[in-house]
Amino acid sequence: MSDLEVCPFDAPLGAEIRGVDISKPLTPSAVETIRTAWHDHLVLLFRDQDMSDAQHFAFTAQFGTLDYPPELLLAIAAGEVRVEDEPMAINVISNVIENGKPIGVLGNGEAFWHSDSTFVEIPPAASLLRSLEVPDSGGDTYFMNMYQALETLPDELRQAIKGKSSKHDAAYSSSGKRRPQFTELDPSKSTGPIHPLERTHPDTGRKSLYLGRRLGSYIVGLPLDESEDLLDRIWDHITEGDFIWAQQWRVGDLVWWDNRCAMHRRDAFDPNVRRTMHRTQLAGDRPY
Ligand code: SIN
């Protein structure tokens, strides 16, 4: 008999998975229970997990194909590196500086609402973030249920986005930093993949709102000012809504989210306190 338990949060999304040591290979039935919980609850929390990066990769690989960290996905998309030459790399998210160099990305600032790496044609299906060092306060991560964001959209906005798609350019990181290789400032003229605003989840068949991030976004076919206005109204709706669950980190937490139907953001924290996370990702799928 397995001790594995799925304990949903009293929140619009999220569940804690208890009674399983994810550093070890899972039974086929545990894989299926966790996969179903992922589809049902969008965000899963595993606490008190003591694992290496190799075990983190091995856990992830039981659910699909591993994907590369954002900067490598961009380099692959730009043809700067070849997939077959690239070893899989852990994505380090950290404010720690060692020998004068950051050991990871994002620093200590806020990360704005986003889905991961939607600036490539096939964005990751999931991200799995594991905490190695955390501050006593600050640095919480928030998750938004994008099924509910769509379902609660006022009729007028739902009609306005019907059949429309948006461009997801890579000009800005989730901390709002501009990537220097992207020089076009007008999002209607920049390059980037086009994704539908309303996307159908390939496993659940449910529709969700798919926005990527606000900065650099553009609704294809509209004059820029109309696109900005419509995007502002959509973002006002979702950020005022109540579709959110917040994770307060402890060392040894692993949080896994569905990147296709949940967005996330992170609070800023004290720059003098260390916060380090390691992240793996599961490759995405088409069609929507
Ligand atoms: C991210 O925005 O992907 C990082 C989340 C975090 O650091 O909590």
The answer as to whether 287 is a domain residue is no
In the predicted structure, residue 47 carries a pLDDT above the cut 80? yes
**Left if phi > 0, otherwise alpha if psi is -120 to 50, otherwise beta: which for 204?**
alpha
The answer as to whether 144 is a domain residue is yes
Quote the DSSP letter at residue 223. -
In the predicted structure, residue 28 carries a pLDDT above the cut 90? yes
Candidate of 141, 254, 265, 281 to mutate for ligand 1, largest count of ligand atoms within 8 Å of Cβ: 141
- Check which CATH number belongs to the domain holding 264 and give it: 3.60.130.10
282 lines ligand 1 (CB under 6 A): no
Mean pLDDT, residues 150-155: 97
In the predicted structure, residue 259 carries a pLDDT above the cut 80? yes
- Look at residue 77 in the predicted model and tell me its pLDDT: 84
Written as one letter, the residue type at 21 is D
- Look at residue 182 in the predicted model and tell me its pLDDT: 81
Distance 245 CA to ligand 1 centre (A): 14
- Look at residue 1 in the predicted model and tell me its pLDDT: 58
258 contacts: CB under 8 Å, gap ≥ 6: 38, 39, 42, 43, 125, 126, 201
Percent of the chain at pLDDT > 90 equals 83
Domain containing 110 equals 5-282
Q: What angle do CA 17, 54, 111 make, to 5 degrees?
A: 65
Instruction: Tell whether the torsion through CA atoms of 258, 159, 119 and 202 is positive or negative.
Output: positive
The answer as to whether 250 is a domain residue is yes
- Look at residue 48 in the predicted model and tell me its pLDDT: 98
223 pLDDT tier (thresholds 50, 70, 90): very high
The answer as to whether 66 is a domain residue is yes
pLDDT per position as a tens digit, 162-193: 999 999 988 888 888 888 888 888 889 988 99
The answer as to whether 288 is a domain residue is no
pLDDT per position as a tens digit, 48-88: 999 999 999 999 999 999 999 988 888 888 888 888 778 88
Number of structural domains found in the chain: 1
In the predicted structure, residue 287 carries a pLDDT above the cut 80? no
277 lines ligand 1 (CB under 6 A): yes
pLDDT per position as a tens digit, 139-150: 999 999 999 999
Query: Which atom from ligand 1 is nearest to the alpha carbon of 141?
Result: 8
Name the nearest CA neighbour of 39 among 284, 267, 278, 258: 258
